[in-house]
Amino acid sequence: PGALFQCIPRDQHRVIQNAYLGVVVSSNRDQIEKQNSFACLFFNSNIPQDAECSMTYITFLTTEQRSFESMGNPSVGFLQSLLGNKNGAHTRFDDDENKKDKKSDNTKTLPDYFNPQPQPPENRLFKIPELNKVQEQAATSFLDSKPNTITLVQGPPGTGKTTLLVAIICRYLLESPKEERQCRLMVSAPTNKAISVLASRYLASIKDDSTFNAILVGDGDKLMTDERSNNDRNDQDGQLKSIFLYSWIQSVVDGYNRIKAYFLPDFRGRETVSSLCRLAKQLQKRISNSLPWVNRELDPYTSSVTKALVSLEAGGAAHDIVTLIERVVKVLRDLPQEQVSQQVRSFSNGKRSDCLTFFQLLSTAHVIFCTLASAGGAVLKKTQRINDLIVDEAA
């Protein structure tokens, strides 16, 4: 459904005047796969009845459809501003700065607006990228903006827009109300490659990943594809899989299996008790923050695993740790999950229980990275309200 075809009746010449456009509207997969038939809506009603046609695939309209649906969503507070129903308030940062630079000291190697600005003091959560004066103005403009308004940042390639976005994400999270932690930021880009770069840069800035939850949504095969060296790619893919919606559970399972392997007779790895203790604390915190409903059942076991490793690190003994880990892994594997395509299809039919785990992960996320097409998908359509939005390559 959503596939656009060019159709030309077989008894007519293959010229543009005889071409008709049709879009597949049938959503019955069994009909398409078993009976080799589907319903097609034509944009021109003059096509001959019962005509045999030669069909040529052109494009897929689902992405465009999702975009239109998203922009027609009444919950999008800044929609009227985006459509132009506002009083303009446009500030050109470059013009103001260029005027000031003419009066600056000519002995400086770089213009003043390229010099790094005073940054917020280092904190234990993020290593925030340094910004120059123009970038700092753009970041402040967004962070201090009023609700239902738009901030447009424009710059040629190489001017640090990705660096700016990462700094904005970190500072947005830090400036959210500490007593509630109800900030919800969606960061989107048009391609899987672009959003994977943004998500990777954000992950690289994190010092303590136990405070804010991040989730990545998109095409897993394309998100994890890169042309870099195998070592770099494996490291980045491992980080992305830890926040990717459809591999989040598996990444936690893999972490506990790493701990379990240390206590098996055939262990040949390089893990240390100290590193495994840190890993156990991290995994326990991830479950507690991201899956609070599941944590009610798992907390006695995850806490016991962490305590056993702390005891072992202090020179004590770790009793029944393999059994405890196996229990944690079993609960995680038994969570309601299906294949991604089936899961989305099930939700579209109203079976929310099949998607419960994914919805929990999305509902507790402080920042959601996704492609523009994924933003209009079934899973994200029904998540809790998003407070603020960043669109990379918005033009």
What pLDDT, on a 0 to 100 scale, did the predictor assign at position 339? 38
Highest mean pLDDT among 30-34, 155-159, 355-359: 155-159
The end-to-end CA distance of the chain, in Å, is 28
Averaged pLDDT score across all residues of the chain: 78
pLDDT of residue 370: 92
Neighbours of 380 (CB within 10 A): 21
Q: Average pLDDT, stretch 205-234?
A: 74
Residues 65, 381 contacting (CB under 8 angstroms): no
Give the residue-averaged pLDDT of 38-51. Answer: 79
pLDDT at 47: 77
Cα 287 from chain centroid?
19
Q: What token pair was written down for 347?
A: 């939700």
Neighbouring CB atoms inside 10 A of 126's CB total 22
Q: For the residues 64-71, what does the mean pLDDT come to?
A: 72
Q: Would you state the pLDDT for residue 345?
A: 39
Higher pLDDT, 138 or 343: 138
Neighbouring-strand partners of residue 126: 206
**Token output for 145:** 């903006």
**Which pTM was predicted?**
0.71
Work out whether strand 40-42 and strand 20-24 pair parallel, antiparallel, or are unpaired.
antiparallel
The whole-number pLDDT of residue 255 equals 92
What pLDDT digit, counting tens, does each position of 232-265 carry? 555 666 789 999 998 899 999 999 999 999 888 8
Angstrom distance (rounded) from CA 265 to CA 262 = 8
The mean pLDDT of 152-176, rounded to a whole number, is 88
The span from the CA of 203 to the CA of 263, in Å, is 30
Pick from 6, 23, 33: nearest CA to 60: 23
* CA distance linking residue 187 with residue 144, whole number of Å: 18
Q: How many CB atoms lie within 10 A of CB 6?
A: 16
pLDDT single digits (tens) 367-378 = 999 988 888 777
Q: What is the pLDDT of residue 35?
A: 79
The pLDDT value given to residue 225: 65
What value does the mean pLDDT take over residues 93-120?
48
Q: Determine the pLDDT at residue 167.
A: 92
Say yes or no to pLDDT of 209 above 50: yes
Does pLDDT of 76 surpass 70? no
**pLDDT the model gives residue 340:** 40
- Confidence category of residue 380, pLDDT binned at 50, 70, 90: confident
The two three-digit tokens of residue 62, written as one number: 């689902």
Q: What per-residue confidence (pLDDT) applies to 118?
A: 54
For 332-366, the three-class secondary structure string (H helix, E strand, C coil) is HHCCCCCCHHHHHHHHHCCCHHHHHHHHHHHHCCC
DSSP state, residue 207:
S
pLDDT confidence of residue 196: 92
Q: Give one DSSP letter per residue of 64-88, joined into a string.
A: HHHHHHHHT-TT-TTHHHHTT-S--
Give 301-313 pLDDT, tens digit per residue.
Answer: 899 999 989 988 8
Q: What pLDDT sits at residue 123?
A: 66
Mean pLDDT throughout 184-210? 89
DSSP track, 133-151: HHHHHHHHHHHTPPTT---
Q: How far apart are CA 90 and CA 165, in angstroms?
A: 20
pLDDT of residue 51: 82
Q: How far apart are CA 111 and CA 16, in angstroms?
A: 56
Better pLDDT: 235 or 194: 194
pLDDT of 366: 92
Residue 101 confidence class, pLDDT cut points 50, 70, 90: very low
Residue 346 vs residue 187, higher pLDDT? 187
Q: Is the pLDDT of residue 199 over 90?
A: yes
More confident residue, 175 or 225: 175
- d(CA 216, CA 375) in angstroms, rounded, equals 11
C-alpha angle 321-324-326 in degrees, rounded to nearest 5: 110
> What average pLDDT does this structure show over 215-224?
85
User: How does DSSP assign 9-56, residue by residue?
Assistant: ETTS-SSGGG-EEEEE----HHHHHHH----EEES-TTSPTT--EEEE
Task: Tell me which amino acid residue 228 is.
Answer: R
282-301 tens-digit pLDDT: 999 999 888 888 888 888 98
pLDDT for the residue 343: 40
pLDDT classification of 166: cutoffs 50, 70, 90: very high
